[in-house]
Structure 1
């Protein structure tokens, strides 16, 4: 599969001030994210990013090799922030059930509070088929998240709240639900009530815990 998003364009020799490296990188990444949401990946150019960030194209090329490099860094940073949010939500919770319910709340919260996340994801999914680096980043994100879900569900197995086989099934189901609901809410926000969807999902998962308890 091809690893190219688009051509590099011309470089300038403009150099950023010393000590501004991290600030400039974050500035460019944030600007690129906004440009993707507004224009999409295919229509995006280095000049667009430079204009949005308020810097020269030379500054951009000082930190990033080309357009693909910027796009991949945006994807990594987007997933990093999403992962951090999930971890912070779970950190103060003790039981497997509480963590699962918090995760469900996060699934239904993100499309409403941060729709840009799924707009970005839609753009990158379209690129992943022909860009192995992009595909690998997406796969790594979902594998790590699936592993994390499995870990906290395993806690429920150890306390006899969940059946062991659910630790294999629920992580995949949760990821599929999160992706599907997010995409639908982003593209067609009036198609369903997200609050009602959250309530329904919690009832379904509640049954999994109740069923295990009745089978003891």
Structure 2
């Protein structure tokens, strides 16, 4: 009989091992065997908990998405925040240490490429994009007119994704990620300064 509480621990072990396997071998060469070896668990447990490699890959991406949400909520534990401060918090949530780590960056890059061919991963990518845009729009609407808020949200989302991608592919990712985060925040300040309500600035 399995010990009480072991299932969540085992699942997280396998998710962590998947991140490490993708970092070492890439998504295509990551298998049930490579994952189970890294996790130090039998390969059968992957089928038991996730139904196979595909289910575990999707669970791993969901974990990274959930960590984005957690980072954002943790940053907003001391309300009230101004709309500007919330926008900056969204940027920071996308550039946390986890999201900048080698296992996470390689998994994200593999995920984006594979999502063009895999309906399940494409659905997760769509959820991710809509969530980022929605979070940005909520705050921009408190500062800008509706049309400008929509445009600024799309531009900021594109900057976050674009700068994150460039940083992940850089030969000096640590420096690039730091600069990318600041450039995204600078863009938000510029939008508010040019078009917004100054009372909403931090």
TM range, smaller chain? 0.7 to 0.9
Determine helix, strand or coil for the equivalent of 1:155.
coil
CA distance in 1, matches of 2:197, 2:18: 52
Q: Which stretches in structure 1 are left out of the alignment for 5+ residues?
A: 1-15, 157-161
Q: Which stretches in structure 2 are left out of the alignment for 5+ residues?
A: none
Determine helix, strand or coil for the equivalent of 1:43.
coil
More contact order relative to length (CA 8 Å, sep ≥ 6): 1
Name the CA shift for 1:63/1:166 in 2 (closer, same or farther; >3 Å): same
CA distance in 1, matches of 2:157, 2:54: 27
Residue 182 of structure 1, aligned match among 146, 164, 189: 164
Native 8 Å contact 2:14 2:46 kept in 1:
yes
Instruction: Give the aligned partner of residue 148 of structure 1.
Output: 135
Native 8 Å contact 1:146 1:171 kept in 2:
yes
Q: Could you say what the CA RMSD is over the residues aligned between the two structures, in angstroms?
A: 2.6
Residue 10 of structure 2, aligned match among 19, 24, 29: 24
Native 8 Å contact 2:23 2:102 kept in 1:
no
Task: Compute the displacement of 1:50 (Å).
Answer: 0.8
CA distance in 1, matches of 2:93, 2:106: 17
Name the CA shift for 1:51/1:197 in 2 (closer, same or farther; >3 Å): closer
User: Structure 1 residue 66 and structure 2 residue 52: aligned?
Assistant: yes
Name the CA shift for 1:60/1:168 in 2 (closer, same or farther; >3 Å): same
More helix by share: 2
Instruction: Give the aligned partner of residue 139 of structure 1.
Output: 126
The superposition leaves residues 69-111 of structure 1 with CA deviations (integer Å, 9 ceiling, x where unpaired) of 1111111111111121122223434211121233334445558
CA distance in 2, matches of 1:47, 1:121: 21
Q: How many equivalent residue pairs?
A: 195
Instruction: Give the aligned partner of residue 159 of structure 1.
Output: none
The superposition leaves residues 145-169 of structure 1 with CA deviations (integer Å, 9 ceiling, x where unpaired) of 211211122222xxxxx23322211
Instruction: Give the aligned partner of residue 99 of structure 1.
Output: 86
